[in-house]
Amino acid sequence: MTLKIVISGFGTVGQGVAEVLERKQDFIKRRFHRQVRIVAAFDSRSLAHDDGGLDPELLLERKSSSGMVGDPRPSDMCRFLRETEFDVLVEVSPTNIETGGDGLLFIREALNKGAHVITVNKGPLALHFRELNDLAKKKKVQLRFEGAVGGAMPIINLCKENFMGERILTIQGILNGTCNFILSRMDKGLPFGQALKEAQELGYAESDPSYDIDGIDSASKVAILANAVFDRDVTFSDVSVTGITAITEDAIALAGDQNMVIRLIGEVSPDKLEVAPRLIPKGHPLSLSGTLNMAQINTDLAGPITISGRGAGRIETASAIFSDLVAILEAERQ
């Protein structure tokens, strides 16, 4: 039996998904006695579609050589999704934190037709989590989003599955590697502007870095954690947000004199939603330097559990998507 997949957003992460599926076909066959086939993949301009399955290597080659995954796509992609037979939508199009963008429309379309959805697109989840989660339950399909918070860092499924039955008190974390890199470089004496420029030159920050340095990315992740882990009904706008643009060299130096560092920390609990720079003692897990994400989950039984991992990257984020796909396959064989 073949599991048919549509990849929405064949950019860096979408290409990583195709690569991982190609790598893991033997594992899927051994464990589930099934095949997984990509039947469609599309980006903002083009679409490749074959009900019999597309060759991941050819998809990657065409995208690399032409910048397009297939032929010019139809204007109405929601209609395409309605008329195409598939079991899982992997939605990895760029995040739109203002409206949810096309990703929100595609997720709704897939859930309404009774397909599972795996997404790392933070916009729809940070704005319409309750609606989408309720729709998935109504249609008796899964909405999974491990990679939406922390990329390869396993936080959503850890909280919802491994800590099932425990009461999670708070989650505090470094949820944006770009900000953490900038602050880490400032620890070494670089001014903010120079540290940001270095982050951009290394590919950690975009040419317009506001999504990261203003705390928007971290805040969207806090909203998702609040809804998924604490069963709250909040959106991005409910999060108190302070970015890192006002942090000065003097503030960094003063923190160092007190044997502390400044880190952008997201915190979520039953009654708190905040992203803000905080003083963290050197040696504390959240004093981490570099680009990794890190979170400390405080529970009533296990106490504080600290996890870290790469918050971005083609294969790293695809690994989180693949873990969600394996969970869907596990559930279907039970």
Token pair belonging to 293? 């994400």
305 and 296 in contact (C-beta within 8 Å)?
A: yes
Alpha carbon distance 294, 223 (integer Å): 17
Between 314 and 86, residue with greater pLDDT: 86
**pLDDT, tens only, 324-333:** 999 999 998 8
| Beta pairing partners, 168 | 299
Q: What is the pLDDT of residue 313?
A: 87
pLDDT over 90 at 1, yes or no: no
For residue 110, the tally of other CB atoms under 10 A from its CB is 30
* Domain 2-152+314-332 CATH assignment equals 2.40.390.10: no
Indicate the pTM of the whole model. Answer: 0.96
66 and 34 in contact (C-beta within 8 Å)?
A: no
Domain 159-310 has what CATH class?
alpha beta
Catalytic position from the list 29, 221, 272, 282: 221
Alpha helices in the chain (DSSP H): 12-23, 25-32, 56-66, 77-83, 101-112, 122-139, 156-157, 177-187, 192-201, 210-213, 216-230, 249-257, 314-332
29 in active site: no
| DSSP 8-state symbol, 238 | G
**pLDDT, tens only, 184-224:** 999 999 999 999 999 999 989 989 999 999 999 999 999 99
For residue 177, the tally of other CB atoms under 10 A from its CB is 26
Instruction: List the chain domain ranges.
Output: 2-152+314-332, 159-310
Check if 2-152+314-332 and 159-310 are the same fold. Answer: no
CA angle 53/55/58 to nearest 5° reads: 145
Token pair belonging to 10? 């064949």
Q: What is the mean pLDDT of residues 274-283?
A: 98
Q: What is the pLDDT of residue 312?
A: 84
